[in-house]
Amino acid sequence: MEFVSRLSAEQAAEVRALVARAHAADGTAPVSEQVLHSLTGDGDEQHLVATEDTAIVGYANLVPGHGEHPAMAEVVVDPPHRRHGVGSRLVAAALETGGAGTRVWAHGNLEAARALAARLGLTPVRELLQLRRPLGEPELPALQVPDGLLLRTYRGPEDDAELLRVNAAAFARHPEQGRWTERDVAQRRSESWFDPEGVFLAFDEQDPDRLLGFHWTKVHAATADQPAIGEVYVVGIDPGAQGRGLGRLLTLAGLRYLQERGLGAVLLYVEGDNTAALHTYGRLGFERFHVDLAYVGA
């Protein structure tokens, strides 16, 4: 098995189908949204497939390390082909190719993932929490925009430069989110779930062209066994504007928008060591739902 820089259209479709089967079996997405975007993109992600009789039975995605950030890997195995060493081989290949410090994500930190980590001598080094709250009770606080602040929604590509500037500054130490480019924004703008009225931007009235922070919301469509659910997709605050309550203000604006869409609940992801964000979200009624762990080799 060798990593490649691009999958064929047929392979990408087969991997997507495999991911869907794993999601249905496990009750949690086995890989991130970015992995699915990369299947047909031309980024620097590397792809590895495990096959049996020409059928893809496992897949590994590897984002090479850059700067101070180590390589990141995500792995999924088709449910009928688990417990046959496929996952172990894919993870071992990702660790070898990614080099020292490579992280391997376990979404949902399921029992099988914990057992695999133990067999390979991996230890958890990063925790990503999924929090949720209903959009009925407890009632959302009133939205009050402080004097001197301007809150509006996304107007299109003309807002992208400022959005990307703030995103890069806000997530300078975040190995995935902080690398967004115009292509990443355009890709998400083309998604069926995108709604410009669900992207909130905050400015100082004295400098209305310089973005202070943003909140991008998302709606996950209903499935056969799950109702539609909203997401606090990205909240980014310019470090120079910290301390003005923008995180809470922008989050609340998005929550009210999702509530007005008729959604019953909302989710978000936050780093387990981000105490400030956890405090803000806790005050807004969010509670821990599940956890993703990143593991590293010895």
179 marked among binding-site residues: no
Do 83 and 174 lie in one domain? The reply is: no
Read off the tokens for 149.
């602040």
* 254 domain residue, yes or no: yes
Query: How far apart are the C-alpha atoms of 77 and 19, rounded to whole Å?
Result: 8
Query: How far apart are the C-alpha atoms of 79 and 186, rounded to whole Å?
Result: 33
* 251 domain residue, yes or no: yes
Query: How far apart are the C-alpha atoms of 288 and 290, rounded to whole Å?
Result: 6
* 155 domain residue, yes or no: yes
* 259 domain residue, yes or no: yes
Do 145 and 289 lie in one domain? The reply is: yes
185 marked among binding-site residues: no
- Residues 93-129: tens digit of each pLDDT: 999 999 999 999 999 989 999 999 999 999 999 999 9
Burial of 112 (0-12, 13-18, 19+ CB in 10 A): middle
Of 93, 121, 149, which residue constitutes the final position of a domain? 121
Residue with tokens 């997401």: 231
84 marked among binding-site residues: yes
Burial of 75 (0-12, 13-18, 19+ CB in 10 A): buried
Reduced 3-state DSSP string for 89-152: HHHHHHHHHHCCCCEEEECCCCHHHHHHHHHHCCEEEEEEEEEEEECCCCCCCCCCCCCCEEEE
244 marked among binding-site residues: yes
* 217 domain residue, yes or no: yes
pTM of the predicted structure, to 2 decimals: 0.87
Of 121, 140, 162, which residue constitutes the final position of a domain? 121
Q: What is the mean pLDDT of the chain?
A: 94
Gyration radius of the chain's alpha carbons: 20
Do 240 and 159 lie in one domain? The reply is: yes
CA-CA-CA-CA torsion sign (167, 168, 174, 175): positive
269 marked among binding-site residues: yes
Given a cut of 80, whether residue 69 has pLDDT beyond it is yes
* 212 domain residue, yes or no: yes
Do 117 and 136 lie in one domain? The reply is: no
243 marked among binding-site residues: yes
Of 91, 121, 151, which residue constitutes the final position of a domain? 121
Torsion of CA 160, 161, 164, 165, to 10 degrees: -150
- Residues 23-37: tens digit of each pLDDT: 999 989 999 999 999
274 marked among binding-site residues: yes
Do 13 and 144 lie in one domain? The reply is: no
pLDDT classification of 66: cutoffs 50, 70, 90: confident
41 marked among binding-site residues: no
pLDDT for the residue numbered 1: 76
* 188 domain residue, yes or no: yes
Do 114 and 145 lie in one domain? The reply is: no
74 marked among binding-site residues: no
Total structural domains within the chain: 2
Do 112 and 157 lie in one domain? The reply is: no
Do 142 and 274 lie in one domain? The reply is: yes
Do 163 and 117 lie in one domain? The reply is: no
Domain that holds residue 38: 9-121
Given a cut of 90, whether residue 201 has pLDDT beyond it is yes
Do 144 and 290 lie in one domain? The reply is: yes
Do 84 and 48 lie in one domain? The reply is: yes
Whether the bond between 138 and the residue before it is cis, its omega within 30 degrees of 0, is yes
Distance of CA 55 to the CA centre of its chain: 28
220 marked among binding-site residues: no
Do 96 and 173 lie in one domain? The reply is: no
CA-CA-CA-CA torsion sign (178, 183, 186, 190): negative
Q: What CATH number is associated with residue 31?
A: 3.40.630.30
pLDDT classification of 92: cutoffs 50, 70, 90: very high
237 marked among binding-site residues: yes
pLDDT for the residue numbered 89: 97
- Residues 273-295: tens digit of each pLDDT: 999 889 989 999 999 999 999 99
Report in angstroms the alpha-carbon separations of 211 from 44, 231, 239, 260: 29, 22, 11, 25
Q: Summarize the confidence of residues 242-253 as an average pLDDT.
A: 94
